[in-house]
Chain A
């Protein structure tokens, strides 16, 4: 069960523990103290400066709440807005939920080890806030729930912990963004996310990152998917950032459970992006797919993918494609691990440049060389994500289109 003292002890011992991958950060040079911000009512939230609204929209958060089933907005360390419009869907700040509901403790630090590294330890010992989003059994979110973690305070280390729970037979779609205010330069974001997809439930989680050039980002997320459950995890990061290191992991623990990871990454000069994805297929009939698309405009991008088949009749595929547009390094590391007979696992990986033959083909249809190149790059980035509501799909396309203009 939930034992605060034990967690504290383990966290303390891990405070200097480096992460397995990525640049090591000196967390002492960042500030974790609380930054007070006023809670905003619905009409107030619409009145925030237009420039900030734009940054939020780029990350999927629409302050007007149109086409959304609920909202969670955190600025620096404080929750400034939180509500749900849909019956059967709960949206709460995690600190408040831990105080008010005992059941929350059954999920808190259950999947991510608190002593995994200095980031998990720090997120436990100096937690700011985060969200709990839960779909009650059988409930289906009509519109996606939106969540945004916004950074405004220079040199802040933002520690966030999110719990996402899709109860039996429920369907939940979440679009979540992380963004920094236009003036912000340096900071760290540490985000712990634990996903629970129960029997027959379906959860889609779409994360769009819009960071600043000197931001370091260390998400730590683990999901657990039960029998017949489906977990779709989309990640989009096309804006400059100093470093991101993450290795989201999913455990498929029931028969016929499925997980799909899709990531679209554009790296700018100076960025160091170490993006992984790992799925354990532990039961018969489970399926997993990891699709990664990366473009380097001078960044160092590492794509790790790891599929572990531990039961027969599982099917898993990893597809990793990188495009070097303007220099940089793309390092693609796909890994397949089969533990029993009867697993069906495959991968394809490719790193290259835009094919001249394709450019010429489009030019012979009337496009200029630049138009042809951007058309091919846009095609490269358009991943056919299955299982998303149409509106959410369109939104992802828009986000990619908007960022694509800067990508080339």
Chain B
């Protein structure tokens, strides 16, 4: 479980997030909406532990451990992972080697790459010259190898063409244990749902991801404050009809 309590965060002396309370239980996926500059990415980077995001107040607790001051790699070791919107290029490091770095135990790199239609990129430098959609597939490849319990997705649909959207959407659903159940599984569906452990927090602008991932909750981040909480589809619809500001008004 991820618990965020009364969090206030600064970047370069400027307050970006305030009074943030958030709780994601095992098996839950939350969607984070909000206009540009509202602090969505900052919230993800703060949870991941990027040191330039300075926590001035409040706590982040993951699996019972207070990680508010923990370095990035300790959070990764505890099971937090992130899919970046614009990750840096690492020259001279092959994507294949990156997958090995991500995997705590040996994984079948080629098999995972094949599932993402990404085999031909394994011998390319990480993110070097990748298109928007290729970056997303590269991020998912790494996350599948890393297998974290809480996955933060920063706009997983941005730059992805229609053709690849289904692949990316269904892969995210699979990673978050939200994919449609296979018919030959002997366990009852309700039981399987109970046993889900993965947690997700997804930033979306377009809402496309909602077509693939049945999310549990939607939240709107507006001006550094978490405003509405509710059904993600309802919230998305409201934003579409009335805009962020109006949508947030109804609950504030």
Interface set of A (CB-CB < 8 Å, partner B) = 355, 357-358, 360-369, 372, 375-376, 378-383
Q: Which of B13-21, B97-105, B129-137 contacts A (4 or more CB under 8 A)?
A: B97-105
Q: A367 contacts which chain B residues (CB < 8 A)?
A: 73, 101
Is B175's CB within 8 Å of the partner chain A?
A: no
| Contact (A366, B146) CB under 8 Å given A379-B92, A380-B92 | yes
A365 touches B92 (CB 8 A): no
Instruction: Using CB atoms, name the residue of chain B closest to A321.
Output: B91
Identify A366's interface contact among B48, B77, B84, CB under 8 A. B77
Instruction: Using CB atoms, name the residue of chain A closest to B104.
Output: A366
CA distance A361 to B75 in the complex (A): 13
B91 touches A361 (CB 8 A): no
A362 touches B92 (CB 8 A): no
A365 touches B76 (CB 8 A): yes
Is B64's CB within 8 Å of the partner chain A?
A: no
Q: A366 contacts which chain B residues (CB < 8 A)?
A: 73, 76-77, 101-102, 104, 146
| Contact (A369, B92) CB under 8 Å given A361-B87, A362-B101, A364-B81 | no
- 9 inter-chain pairs at a CB distance below 8 angstroms, sorted by A residue, are A361-B84, A364-B75, A365-B142, A366-B101, A368-B73, A378-B93, A379-B93, A379-B125, A382-B92
Instruction: Using CB atoms, name the residue of chain B closest to A359.
Output: B72
| Contact (A355, B73) CB under 8 Å given A365-B142, A366-B104 | no
Q: A381 contacts which chain B residues (CB < 8 A)?
A: 92
Q: A379 contacts which chain B residues (CB < 8 A)?
A: 90-93, 125
Is B50's CB within 8 Å of the partner chain A?
A: yes
Is B88's CB within 8 Å of the partner chain A?
A: yes
Identify A375's interface contact among B50, B77, B93, B146, CB under 8 A. B93
Q: Is the interface of A mostly helix, strand, loop or mixed?
A: helix
B88 touches A358 (CB 8 A): yes
B90 touches A358 (CB 8 A): yes
B92 touches A360 (CB 8 A): no
Further contacts, 17 of them, CB under 8 A, given A360-B72, A363-B73: A358-B88, A358-B90, A360-B50, A361-B90, A364-B48, A364-B81, A364-B82, A365-B98, A367-B73, A368-B73, A369-B73, A375-B90, A375-B93, A376-B93, A379-B125, A380-B91, A380-B92
Is B71's CB within 8 Å of the partner chain A?
A: yes
Of all A-B residue pairs in the complex, the 7 with the closest CB atoms, nearest first, are: A379-B92, A363-B72, A382-B92, A379-B93, A363-B73, A366-B76, A357-B88
CA distance A365 to B74 in the complex (A): 10
Instruction: Using CB atoms, name the residue of chain A closest to B146.
Output: A365
CA distance A392 to B236 in the complex (A): 58
Interface set of B (CB-CB < 8 Å, partner A) = 48-51, 71-73, 75-77, 81-82, 84, 87-88, 90-93, 98, 101-102, 104, 125, 142, 146
CA distance A376 to B125 in the complex (A): 11
Instruction: Using CB atoms, name the residue of chain B closest to A355.
Output: B88
| Contact (A363, B90) CB under 8 Å given A375-B101, A379-B125 | no
Q: A372 contacts which chain B residues (CB < 8 A)?
A: 73
Q: A380 contacts which chain B residues (CB < 8 A)?
A: 91-92
Question: What's the nearest-Cβ distance from chain B to residue A277, in Å?
Answer: 20
Instruction: Using CB atoms, name the residue of chain A closest to B127.
Output: A361
Q: B87 contacts which chain A residues (CB < 8 A)?
A: 361
CA distance A395 to B59 in the complex (A): 50
Q: B92 contacts which chain A residues (CB < 8 A)?
A: 378-383
B88 touches A364 (CB 8 A): no
CA distance A293 to B238 in the complex (A): 54
Q: A362 contacts which chain B residues (CB < 8 A)?
A: 90, 101
| Contact (A376, B71) CB under 8 Å given A362-B101, A367-B101 | no
Question: What's the nearest-Cβ distance from chain A to residue B228, in Å?
Answer: 29
CA distance A372 to B101 in the complex (A): 10
Q: B72 contacts which chain A residues (CB < 8 A)?
A: 360, 363-364
A364 touches B90 (CB 8 A): no
Question: What's the nearest-Cβ distance from chain B to residue A110, in Å?
Answer: 38
Q: A363 contacts which chain B residues (CB < 8 A)?
A: 71-73, 76
Q: B71 contacts which chain A residues (CB < 8 A)?
A: 363, 369
Question: What's the nearest-Cβ distance from chain A to residue B56, in Å?
Answer: 20
Q: B77 contacts which chain A residues (CB < 8 A)?
A: 366
